[in-house]
Amino acid sequence: MRVVVKVGTSSITNEVGEINIESIRKICGELLAARAEGHEVVLVTSGAIAAGLPALGLGGDARPKDAQTLQAVSAVGQGRLIATYNQVLAELSDLVGGQVLIAPHDFMIRDQYLHARGTLDRLLELGVIPIVNENDAIADDEIRFGDNDRIAALVAQLIGAEVLVLLTDADGLLTADPRIDATASLIEDVLEIDQELLGLAGGSGTVRGSGGMVTKLQAAKIAAWTGVRTVIAASERTNVVRDSIDSVPGVGTIVWPQQRRLPARKVWIAFAVGISGSIEVDAGAEAALRLDSSLLAPGVYGHSGEFLAGDAVELVGPAGVVFAKGLVRCGAGELTAGQASVVIHRDDLVVLS
């Protein structure tokens, strides 16, 4: 199988944000064991910002909050992070890791998307373990909440992986917060991620990480729509990667793929493109869109945002619930002026509820 393994910051650093080499040694050992069984593995790792903070004397209470400083810190930490991975890989085997810095834009622009896929494919052919991280240092947006979880899911789709393993400091998704409810138990199997399930997840577990269980469930939802099985499990568990590949009961929370799979372009529309506004449609239009029709101007009764042709918008039904997302063929001004006929073509529309 092709397997994407994502590890969070809290799983590879200590309490003051320093790289924990023993944790990285454990992760690398798991990846090498999977390769020895014939699997191809890609690692998506967080930790650049957390690794850079101690080097600059900015750990603990001195952690900066502004995005520009965090981006600068990540530039320092990323080098330290990849060096540690390669040091450990050299100790354990003759394999090397190849650094791949990626950003959401790499999934938004078709040429960049194909180039990223080609690079990752070639690295795997060469026997290299690709080590992927978000390109925080030169991102043109603020450091985003949970982007590496989302990027891991998109990478899984990009390379045609069968399994996505999201390693964290929890056993998986629990029925309640174990810190306040002693009866909390592991949810082992998830067939569909809905609002009730998302409500069981909390925020970021530590100050060192940017994600949390919510972002992992959102990533698992992306993976499910692309035919990828996701396992959310504890990084400290022995043989966690192998057990995740084999779907061993109790390994963590397994989110099973949807029967309906989205093609790559619609995955890109649904999960990689930022939203520029919203369009409210009537009941007739919503029903037609759910039957794979295009959105025509008569079905629109309102909109918000200053979107332009080619931008992504959410579609909201009469009940006030977002049920789809698509790329508009007209700007907000044209829609207001009644100059549009086809607002969103069905080829540019994704219904996800």
How high is the pLDDT of residue 143? 42
Exposure of 205 by Cβ count < 10 A (0-12 exposed, 13-18 middle, 19+ buried)? middle
pLDDT tens per residue across span 250-275:
999 999 998 878 887 888 888 878 89
Q: Under a CB-based contact definition with an 8 Å cutoff, are residues 344 and 307 in contact?
A: no
At position 323, the amino acid (one-letter code) is F
The dihedrals phi and psi of 340, each to the nearest 5 degrees, come to -110, 150
Q: Under a CB-based contact definition with an 8 Å cutoff, are residues 149 and 5 in contact?
A: no
pLDDT average, residue stretch 167-190: 87
* H or E, element range at 185: none
pLDDT tens per residue across span 53-72:
888 888 777 888 888 898 89
How high is the pLDDT of residue 208? 43
Q: Which two tokens stand for residue 40?
A: 């191809």
Q: Over pLDDT 70: what percentage of the chain?
A: 93
Domains in the chain: ranges and CATH: 2-264 (3.40.1160.10), 274-351 (2.30.130.10)
Residue 180 in this model has a pLDDT that exceeds 90: no
Q: How far apart are the C-alpha atoms of 297 and 343, rounded to whole Å?
A: 6
Residue 348 in this model has a pLDDT that exceeds 90: yes
CB proximity list for 82: less than 8 A, separation 6 or greater: 97, 99, 131
pLDDT tens per residue across span 202-240:
644 444 444 578 889 989 999 999 999 999 999 999 999
Residue 345 in this model has a pLDDT that exceeds 60: yes
The dihedrals phi and psi of 6, each to the nearest 5 degrees, come to -115, 130
Q: What is the dihedral of CA 272, 187, 164, 106, to 10 degrees?
A: 10
Would you place residue 148 in the very low, low, confident or very high pLDDT band (cuts 50, 70, 90)?
confident
The sign one gets for the Cα dihedral 187, 203, 151, 123 is negative
What DSSP letter does each residue of 69-138 carry, written as one string?
A: HHHHHHHHHHHHHHHHHHHHHHHH-S--EEEEEE-THHHHSHHHHHHHHHHHHHHHHTT-EEEEEE-GGG
CB proximity list for 199: less than 8 A, separation 6 or greater: none
Q: Which of 194, 264, 193 is closest to 227 using CA atoms?
A: 264
Q: Under a CB-based contact definition with an 8 Å cutoff, are residues 265 and 158 in contact?
A: no
How high is the pLDDT of residue 307? 95
Three-state secondary structure call for residue 39: coil
Q: HEC string of 200-257?
A: CCCCCCCCCCCCCHHHHHHHHHHHHHCCCEEEEEECCCCCHHHHHHCCCCCCCEEECC
How high is the pLDDT of residue 145? 39
CB proximity list for 263: less than 8 A, separation 6 or greater: none
Would you place residue 178 in the very low, low, confident or very high pLDDT band (cuts 50, 70, 90)?
confident
- Comparing 213 with 41, the larger pLDDT belongs to 41
Three-state secondary structure call for residue 314: strand
The sign one gets for the Cα dihedral 179, 185, 188, 193 is negative
pLDDT average, residue stretch 238-251: 96
Give the number of other CB atoms < 10 A from CB of residue 285.
24
pLDDT average, residue stretch 156-182: 89
Pairing of strands 40-45, 2-7: parallel
Q: Which two tokens stand for residue 201?
A: 């997840």
Q: Over pLDDT 90: what percentage of the chain?
A: 61
